[in-house]
Structure 1
């Protein structure tokens, strides 16, 4: 991770950690970088945060000042930007979003011409330019100044693409959608309505400050209640930029990213579509998932946390399915990044083709209790490297043995250490998580 760019782009509180000047300079660099031998074409999407408009205008100013032509998708999802970049031949795409973070945060995600997250070496160049005192990039003049074009049609084409992936009509299926007052408000209902579902929607009235507020994939209780109150067959919850999806079954139970990987992996394996009989997960996936997949003859490869690492592994090894417990699920045949609405369509496909309710598709998985506490620290690297902290982590790992595990890792987007214990009971999880936190406090890291 660099000074500004973490595992999911440049993110922070709007006009505090991430300012309009930052956005302008990101635009200036990208317009120049991609336009050295031709006129760069760059597409921008944004979520519903109030500050997204401010950052959009700053990016446009920087890009056009460097000579790039800019195409605006307006409010849309991160996966739609990825789709449009690779299907329409853009040099790169930019998504303005802080994903599941609160409204006062925002972020800049850059997507390369292949529809994948930007290479680390290019992010390093952007950071060097942001911090440089001398500008070093010439301003475009006369006819070389870039122009801006409304490109809402790109989002409509993406919606059409999603609709085309469905294998069956959703007629007479009662589906609940929690749009997190975010990007999926512009997309999800249109897709499900077009496929014939009886669509029930909550949290789809964004006002600029209610994105992710007590709704969406980080607050599943609303959707659980909504599914039960309305007798729905299934519910789907997205995050702010709609690259995540979690589900609720007909009984009101949460189907997290691990369970989604299980049901989709088993379904794809039965149809001969699971390349190498392998699913790519992160180190945070539940032990119960690994044990259940093993019984089905499906292997797992584990990566560092972050869907970019999952996708890198998938590309390098030819795997077709991967994802995170948080709901980033990647179907390599159809997308290069996590796509919440696509994930919900794939879950629907498994339900309809197997003629089973969602609860039935995951009943063989017994998840282990997990507890993760985010601990705000003064310096992530110093806290993680502390000898006494490391010794306590090692002691807990030895005690848990094969019946559990402990993972302590640095957040890629926040000044916190994430302390996670997985064990046979919630009491054991709590005991050892707080033993580690106590050492962090004793050593003055938090």
Structure 2
């Protein structure tokens, strides 16, 4: 079967040159299915997780349409709005938009909380072709008329299920109410619960639906392990694991902000280069943490679920769930931070007795049994044993698998 090319999708020459510069050679499945429909002006409902290539899928048609119109936006006016649930994801979308529009004369403004409102207003004073933002700050600038949506022709709602999890539904409805009725709209979501389906029905007109399978792609690339242990033994096991240099770039997920700070402090005291990222961190602190992690200045990033969908860093060798998430769906997004761009990866979970019900739910949802390292969990009526560090054979298994993953990412 002949593979589809970006040229065959109908993209313009400036965009094809930008794709070539970025070494994007072959469209991903969601790009191949989405780009022609969006170029034709259709509304679209996309079901796909972060890492599937969906950002370029919705960005390329928007850029082509806006460039063809050759309209200069008025002060405080924008022609396109892309909403993201977190500041990190908004900044990553902006990075992609800027890279793909390098050969076009289009202005992009990022409007997010935790950053200078004054600078954002000053940027909007010149008008913007594309605004990329989080719902709260977008609504803030709308209220003062420093962001006006009456001329919007393209609207994208990314990670809709995460938006609803974070309680943004009221802000989203305020933004949608301010949009012109004649526009092209896209909604992307990793899952499609009833609330997201209802939002899609109110937002989209006769949409094309594109759905990219998730489970089949996750299990073969990510080797998954679980340690059963008491909560009190998690710190010592984590420190023991991090003695292995094969754990070269690691995200450690905790359930709470306090837990993230505590784990980061323990690792820092042990001489490990580490940063923490969560909702109480300022935007400059978050950006520095991500820069340090990408560059290798920080070997470990400790994060809450706010980072599960917002971090797109290549070469992550291991994801460690210090605490299992409250919802099984979050587990899939957490471990998806490794095994990016076709590389291999390893996910390791610590499970104390109180988390065993969540673990069973995760395994049922994935239809996959996670490999147990060490002793199987004792009956609930028995006191769990204090864990020991992984044995030499298990450490070699982590080491070999981690090295293969890093070679694939290189």
Give the TM-score normalised by the residue count of structure 1. Answer: 0.28
Give the TM-score normalised by the residue count of structure 2. Answer: 0.30
User: When you count strand as a share of all residues, which structure comes out higher?
Assistant: 1
